[in-house]
Amino acid sequence: MGKQFNSKQSLVQTIEGYIRYYNSRRVQRNLGVLTPVEKHALAMAA
Protein backbone atom coordinates (compact mmCIF):
# COMPACT_ATOMS: atom_id res chain seq x y z
CA MET A 1 0.00 0.00 0.00
CA GLY A 2 1.22 3.52 -0.82
CA LYS A 3 1.78 6.49 1.40
CA GLN A 4 -1.23 8.26 2.90
CA PHE A 5 -1.26 12.06 2.75
CA ASN A 6 -3.01 14.15 5.38
CA SER A 7 -3.05 17.37 3.36
CA LYS A 8 -2.85 18.62 -0.17
CA GLN A 9 0.30 20.58 0.73
CA SER A 10 2.06 17.40 1.85
CA LEU A 11 1.12 15.64 -1.39
CA VAL A 12 2.30 18.57 -3.54
CA GLN A 13 5.64 18.77 -1.66
CA THR A 14 6.21 15.05 -2.15
CA ILE A 15 5.46 15.26 -5.87
CA GLU A 16 7.68 18.32 -6.34
CA GLY A 17 10.52 16.60 -4.47
CA TYR A 18 10.24 13.54 -6.69
CA ILE A 19 10.22 15.68 -9.84
CA ARG A 20 13.40 17.45 -8.66
CA TYR A 21 15.03 14.06 -7.99
CA TYR A 22 13.89 12.58 -11.31
CA ASN A 23 15.06 15.54 -13.38
CA SER A 24 18.36 16.30 -11.67
CA ARG A 25 19.73 13.54 -9.42
CA ARG A 26 18.55 10.29 -11.01
CA VAL A 27 21.28 8.31 -12.81
CA GLN A 28 20.42 8.09 -16.51
CA ARG A 29 21.88 5.56 -18.93
CA ASN A 30 21.48 7.83 -21.95
CA LEU A 31 23.85 10.29 -20.25
CA GLY A 32 26.55 7.65 -19.78
CA VAL A 33 25.31 6.57 -16.33
CA LEU A 34 25.59 10.09 -14.94
CA THR A 35 23.09 12.35 -13.27
CA PRO A 36 22.00 15.38 -15.29
CA VAL A 37 23.86 17.59 -12.79
CA GLU A 38 27.09 15.61 -13.31
CA LYS A 39 26.69 15.70 -17.11
CA HIS A 40 26.14 19.46 -17.01
CA ALA A 41 29.23 19.95 -14.85
CA LEU A 42 31.33 17.93 -17.31
CA ALA A 43 30.00 19.92 -20.25
CA MET A 44 30.74 23.22 -18.52
CA ALA A 45 34.30 22.11 -17.68
CA ALA A 46 35.06 21.19 -21.30
Q: Tens digit of pLDDT for each residue in 4-46?
A: 999 999 999 999 999 999 888 888 888 888 888 888 888 999 7
**Which pLDDT tens digit goes with each residue over 34-44?**
888 888 888 99
Burial 7-40 (b: 16+ CB within 10 A, else e): eeeeeeeeeeeeeeeeeeeeeeeeeeeebeebee
Is 0.75 topped by the overall pTM?
A: no
Contact predicate 37/24, CB 8 Å: yes
Task: Specify burial of residue 45 (Cβ count, 10 A radius: 0-12, 13-18, 19+).
Answer: exposed
